[in-house]
Amino acid sequence: MRRIDISMPIFPGMPSFPGDPAFASAPLRSIARGDPYNLSGLSLGSHAGTHVDPPVHFVPGGTTTDHLDLGVLNGPCRVVEVGAPAASVGADDVARIPARTARVLFRTTNSARWASSLAFFPDYVGLTPAAATALVERKVRIVGIDALSIENDPSGTFPVHHTLLGRGTLILEGLLLAAAPPGEYVLECLPLRLRDGDGGPARAALVTP
């Protein structure tokens, strides 16, 4: 058994979704300056790096980060490869997923791009609305992707988020899956327990069978 860390590192200058606050870290105590210990002050958005989207992110009155079911976030999952030249993850890709799969992570060409440079790129691969509908029809509990957003929607109406979160399917974004070949794993994911949170920065790992 081994763990594959699929989390994005948190650091100044890390990629962030356009419009989201940038991560910042400032030393407040420093051993090098004569303090007895090191301590930093952090500033980040609730959707920084690898993070979970709870329903309240798009659904008024929806479940918040601190009330998410950890049983949904942890357990058997499947990594599904969607390679070049696919510009998006479609319903046909969802059709390849075995029945009764509760957790799905999509490994696209985004992962290879992250592996060469941790810089934001606007032409990332995301899900189509048809793929989102197919996932909720299959009763998938959580769906993840190797992009800072699960959809690349030029209209700004976010139909994929509304479909998934509106039906209670959680979203896991900002994954680094280059080291995780397609197949079956156990997902370990623990978002920060932010009270009334609309997002949850998380550490996520895949455990090999």
Distances (CA, A) of 120 to 12, 52, 77, 116: 14, 18, 27, 12
Q: Catalytic residue, from 47, 51, 57, 161: name it.
A: 57
Q: What token pair was written down for 113? A: 């791009």
Close Cβ partners of 105 (under 8 Å, ≥ 6 residues apart): 6, 77, 78, 79, 80, 143, 144, 145, 146, 172, 175, 177, 180, 187, 206
Q: What token pair was written down for 33? A: 């300056």
Q: Catalytic residue at 57?
A: yes
d(C-alpha 131, C-alpha 175), whole Å: 19
Q: What token pair was written down for 2? A: 């081994």
Residues marked active site are found at 57
